[in-house]
Structure 1
Amino acid sequence: MIAMGTVFDAFTSYDGSREHLIVRTVRVPRALMAMMVGACLGAAGSVLQAVTRNPLAGPEMLGSSNGAALLLVISMFLFGYTSSMLHIWAALIGAGLASLAVFMLGSLGGGMTSIKLILAGATVNLLLGSLVQGILIFSEQSLDEMRFWLAGSLTGGSLAMFVKVLPFMLAGLAGALVMSKQINLLSLGDEVAQNLGLKVGFYKAMALLAIMCLMGGAVAIAGPIGFVGLAVPHLARFLVGVDYRWIIPYAAVLGAGLLLLADICARFILPDQEISAGVVTALVGAPFLIYLAQRKGE
């Protein structure tokens, strides 16, 4: 355990000691990555729930996380770890394609409904997850290297990759915030939004692009971390009401704090080893999902 005073000293009076080196090269960068990934997950979940008008919508339930993971795994399987930008683009495109596939499947046969969207998301999510596992079977080395990452962990997060993917994550956050007024209208339904003069197709495409940047960046850094994107928007909605001009920034801040706390807990729950932050968020998020499903069924 490194004292808080040592953390401050590492930046104000760096002396090259082991503790100062750990703070500057490991602890602080990892904390920044955790907060940025959590912010992206919270914002992505908020946008998804607004566009789909479904309180059970989350990046991990609509295939975005597994879509990013699948193309990232394929790129690593084919090309190894030679190009971080290739992996970043793979994650971004995978998140976008998976979300688009779920939206299209959920809109078949008379328009999108909450039930159809959940069924389409569950189907695509299971398919993508199975493909990821199937690919890893062909390479035992890749499986060993990626097992912890696939559980959702910041342990293997690379500061160099984080710097490269940060512009995409910031672009996604900025896009979600800039479109928050239009996202408010989308949350009222397509027909109402059109009657109010909104270009529904255009803004849905822009929302999908924002989700692609947010989820692709988050998965590239930390793997598919579940439940943050589902639970955090509900916490933000409880605090600030139904206006997405407030929900999105609050969800980003709450997501950053939640994932940072989960990552800290992941390092100290077991004294002799570290577990994945995704395991911690799942332990908290699974009961929350059951609670939401029960409320929606009432």
Structure 2
Amino acid sequence: MSLPSGVADTPRPKLRTRPFVASIILIGGLAALFLGLAVSVSVGAADIKLSMVWEAIFNFNQELTQHQIIRELRLPRALAGALVGIGFAISGAIMQGMTRNPLADPGLLGINAGSGFVLAICFAFFPGLPFQYLILFSFAGAAVGSGLVYGISSLAKGGLSPVRLALAGAAVSALLLALSEGVAIYFHISQDLAFWYAGGVAGTKWLQIKIIWPWILAGIIGAIWLSRSITLLSLGDEIAAGLGQRTRWVKAAGMLLSLILAGTSVSAVGAVGFVGLVIPHMARSLVGVDYRWIIPCSAVLGALLMVVADIGARMINPPFETPIGALIALIGVPFFLYLARKERREM
């Protein structure tokens, strides 16, 4: 069987990977995640012992108020945090790998702002729209936001670059956010949009969990299936094409997965930024450049970050809650500035 043109004389790149470290992250991260979920369910306005959490999950008694709090309020909230952490982290990892852009992130490239703008339109013109339809509109908004960012940055002289992409993303995100606020003020839905602006998992119900988990699971499976191709793309389009990759199809599939994961997450918890920026960098620095390891490690670390941030949001100023987006931004903004400065030095 003949090889595609260019494959025979294209040397296969030697990837720097650390499978042992990745295995430790996965095992230790999953253990820490389960512990974090248990703590998340037990802390709040009413402190509940971990033994009571165990009883409520495996021996539910609807006559006990604490069991009802755990089952109906805290457990779906904790699971939602883990699911959207996975969604944001994997979406960011895919985008960074495909574009070879260390600044790529659903929040920085217009996906979150696009979803938020379309959701504002839905609240204004279609009040009471079922959550399953909101997710579909969230996908559409994510596509609009990312399309504007890539289109504007591609028009610049010299084509796409990490800094141009970040600048276009900041401009488009600011525009869409301003439009969302204008819609909210004109149609008197500011209170409805406050949750989406701040970001958080408070008030999440089992209905939302049932709707978002199949989308997140499909995104995880698709990302793992595409991980080898993303690894080759991260080394350069020419190397990937020389090794037989259909780069356009891979990029289209990767972008679709990013939109699904980020759109689902935004529809559930609002525009929480920087998870998709920080977590993939952390995973890549620990396990190497192979996305077959980066993606699962990003999923575990992203879920853990969101669960821990939700715990912190309830403990900083009880009984009031601090927005999760603000807590994560305290980490994400300095990290973004560091990366932007590093990219500028390397240009």
Residue 128 in 1 paired to residue 147 in 2? no
Match of 1:10 among 37, 44, 56: 56
Q: Which residue of 2 aligns with 1:99?
A: 146
Q: Which residue of 1 aligns with 2:72?
A: 25
Q: CA deviation at 1:241?
A: 0.8
| CA displacement 1:216-259 (0-9 Å, x = unmatched) | 10001000001111100011012101111111111111000000
| CA displacement 1:9-58 (0-9 Å, x = unmatched) | 11233232111111111111111100000001100110111111111111
| CA displacement 1:135-189 (0-9 Å, x = unmatched) | 111122x211221332111113332123123222221222111100111111122
Residue 206 in 1 paired to residue 253 in 2? yes
Q: Which residue of 2 aligns with 1:244?
A: 291
Unaligned stretches of 5+ residues in structure 2: 1-46
Give the letter aligned to residue 50 of structure 2.
M
Match of 1:113 among 161, 173, 195: 161
Equivalences, count: 297
Q: Which residue of 1 aligns with 2:187?
A: 139
TM-score of the aligned structures, taking structure 1 as reference length: 0.95
Taking only aligned residues, the RMSD between alpha carbons, in angstroms, comes to 1.5
Alpha-carbon separation, structure 2, partners of 1:111 and 1:158: 44
Q: CA deviation at 1:82?
A: 3.0
Secondary structure of the structure 1 residue equivalent to 2:320: coil
- Structure 1: 4+ residue segments shifted above 4 A: none
TM-score of the aligned structures, taking structure 2 as reference length: 0.82
| CA displacement 1:272-295 (0-9 Å, x = unmatched) | 311211111112222222222233
Match of 1:179 among 211, 220, 226: 226
Q: Which residue of 2 aligns with 1:57?
A: 104
| Segment drifting more, 250-259 vs 269-278 | 269-278
Residue 233 in 1 paired to residue 268 in 2? no
Alpha-carbon separation, structure 2, partners of 1:148 and 1:181: 37
Alpha-carbon separation, structure 2, partners of 1:145 and 1:288: 31
Q: CA deviation at 1:110?
A: 4.6
Residue 194 in 1 paired to residue 241 in 2? yes
Among all aligned residue pairs of Structure 1 and Structure 2, give the percentage whose two residues are the same amino acid. 41
Secondary structure of the structure 1 residue equivalent to 2:88: helix
Q: Which residue of 1 aligns with 2:267?
A: 220
